[in-house]
Amino acid sequence: MPIPNPKSPRSVQNRHVVVIGAGSTGAATAHDLALRGFRVTVVERGEVASGTTGRNHCLLHSGARYAVNDPVAARECIEENLILRRIMPDGLELNDGLMIAVDERDWAFRPSFLEGCARAGIEARELSVREALALEPGLRPTIRAAVRVPDGVFEPFRFCLYFLATAQANGAVVKTYCEVVEITRGQRAVSGVTVRDTRSGKTEHIAADVVINATGPWSGKVAQHAGCDVPVVPTAGVMVSIPQRINRMVIHRMYLPGDGDILVPQRLTSLLGTSSWPVDSADAIDIPREHVQRMIDLTAQMVPAVKSIKPRGVWAAARPLIGSAKLAGGRELSRTFECFDHTREGVPGFITITGGKTVTARVMAEKVVDLICTQLGVQAECRTREVMLRSYREFYR
């Protein structure tokens, strides 16, 4: 049964919003919209989570990774981490993480790291080396320090389905394999989208009061359909999987985010990552062979067994980082998010939400739907902090 929302004014129920993209951001946005009483249609050119979300390293960020150099993103991560624990308890593995100091450089970074966690509100508990090795026997035995943080792990496809199943229960329609080929405009504002079924080739026009562009690293390309610009830099990262789960907890290097400094357990595998470089297209990413070996070599500095196991798979995904392509490595760009109201470009009714992390999808949705309510002059309270999400299995029922 749909979840009733008595606080939604009747005028909201007559407003139709099209969400482009069924990754984590689009899925969470559809859920928020439907919960507030909007009519919602989600269009996705592939399968659910077939873009960046489905190719990430599955980490439920505590924010500790960004506590020193990106405090805004760190606070966003820990706040949303705690909310997801409440609303999606069956979809998370709450195994925590270890930030470890491998050498003198990492050891010297430790005070700044602990201060950053304290400022961001991230619980960070120092462990002795003996305690850390008892938790993770595969760690390099010569590590200098370890700090336990509230990381976790999720399965990206199911993560999106939790939101979409709940959105469907509230009336949302999800159309996969529907690629947007045109953003249509009326006399005053955007009037909807034209989509092409990528299997049959047939086109269809979907009328809308508002169109939300939630396509991650493709958001700049999609925005061009409306003659708009989005300063998003598709920034790729190589990840490597090995066919053994050699760590129970998430393991990070205790330093500023860099290459090969994270090892994430996922089911019966472990994921090594990641590098960072800007790419021209999020659809065609050539994987540099040296990046693969670099991930193995650097991760092995934390867990030596990595080098002795043949990789199971290698892939690359493009992150939707906001900023200038002149920042060559992408590490300088914040992991926070931003809403772009294209009214300022003369295209009212069209909004882009991009940046962020999978873990911050819910708050990204809250911000963009708040903006829509303001634009339409309606009042509909966000309740996604408290409403429990339906099982991902219900999406296909």
Mean local confidence (pLDDT), 72-94: 97
* In contact, 45 and 180? CB cutoff 8 Å: yes
Coil, helix or strand at residue 326: coil
CATH 3.30.9.10, domain 59-154+233-322, yes or no = yes
**Strands, sheet with 337-341, edge to edge from the N-terminal-most edge strand:** 173-176, 39-44, 16-20, 210-213, 350-355, 337-341
**In contact, 307 and 242? CB cutoff 8 Å:** no
Cα first-last separation, the chain: 13
Q: What is the mean pLDDT of residues 273-294?
A: 91
Please give the pLDDT value at position 10: 46
d(CA 270, CA 279): 26
Give the model confidence (pLDDT) of 85-96 as tens digits.
999 999 999 999
CA atoms of 373 and 198, how far apart (whole Å): 32
What sections of 88-225 are H helices per DSSP? Answer: 104-120, 129-135, 156-169, 219-223
**pLDDT at residue 7 tops 60:** no
Pairwise CA distance, residues 107 & 288, whole Å = 31
Bridging pattern class, strands 145-149 and 125-127? antiparallel
Answer yes or no: same fold for 15-52+157-231+335-396 and 59-154+233-322. no
pLDDT-derived band of residue 335, with 50, 70 and 90 as boundaries? low
pLDDT of residue 34: 97
CATH for 15-52+157-231+335-396, options being 3.40.50.2020, 3.40.190.10, 1.10.3720.10, 3.50.50.60: 3.50.50.60
**Domain residue spans in the chain?**
15-52+157-231+335-396, 59-154+233-322
Q: What is the pTM of this model?
A: 0.93
Average pLDDT (249-260) is: 96
